[in-house]
Chain A
Amino acid sequence: KNEVEQSPQNLTAQEGEFITINCSYSVGISALHWLQQHPGGGIVSLFMLSSGKKKHGRLIATINIQEKHSSLHITASHPRDSAVYICAVYKGGSEKLVFGKGTKLTVNP
């Protein structure tokens, strides 16, 4: 079983919809990354958080350390949000970043 699990694997939405991507992990962590990867492109860091909630524009990330769960929300989704969203965690006590397999989001106009 992977240490970082994301759901869903694939998600298709209509423009304007509210989107939620979930991430669960089974190890102790010191922080969690939400990353965005466009086709053919590199990886961009959206959020790094270790507790609570962060917001940037239409993106919101939350984390519940006790439940070992994080969510990434996108409000008023747009076709340009179409990308793969990756959850990654820093395992506690190490610099190692462990990645989920990603959630492929497609937002249709």
Chain B
Amino acid sequence: EAGVVQSPRYKIIEKKQPVAFWCNPISGHNTLYWYRQNLGQGPELLIRYENEEAVDDSQLPKDRFSAERLKGVDSTLKIQPAELGDSAVYLCASSRTSGGTYEQYFGPGTRLTVT
């Protein structure tokens, strides 16, 4: 079974530029998560999708961040414009269903550096 796929693995951009990250969850997993992980910290949830519906986006900075999960499969997270403080690892995870404690599986992450 293929794991969670993310691309790109690394991205370096100048501030004020746009950037996009892509995630393909494990087949059959209806719940998809985007996390941001700052250096030396644990991941923090940005947004959670159940199928194509964003059910928790309370921590997503909506002035510059947007996300979509068309057709309830793969997802894109965008930042426009990027700021220096956005430098972090962006992790995608998926699980078979939400509710209860179904195990989350994580992708390799995208390390973003904003200069």
Contact = CB atoms under 8 A, between A and B. Distances in A.
Interface of A: 4, 30-31, 33, 35, 40-45, 48, 50, 86, 88, 90, 95-97, 99-102
Nearest to B50: A95
Given A86-B42, A95-B31, A99-B42, A42 B108 contact: yes
Interface in B83-115: 91, 93, 98-109, 111
A92 to B, nearest CB: 9
Given A30-B100, A45-B106, A96-B45, 17 more contacts: A30-B101, A33-B104, A41-B108, A42-B6, A43-B93, A43-B109, A44-B106, A45-B105, A50-B101, A90-B101, A95-B100, A96-B56, A97-B104, A99-B44, A100-B42, A101-B41, A101-B42
B28 interface: no
Contacts of A48: 101, 103
A43 B89 CA distance: 11
B41 A97 contact: no
Contact of A40 (B99, B106, B111): B111
B29 interface: no
B22 to A, nearest CB: 14
B72 interface: no
Contacts of B106: 35, 42-45
Contacts of A42: 4, 6, 91, 106-109
Nearest to B111: A40
Contacts of B56: 96
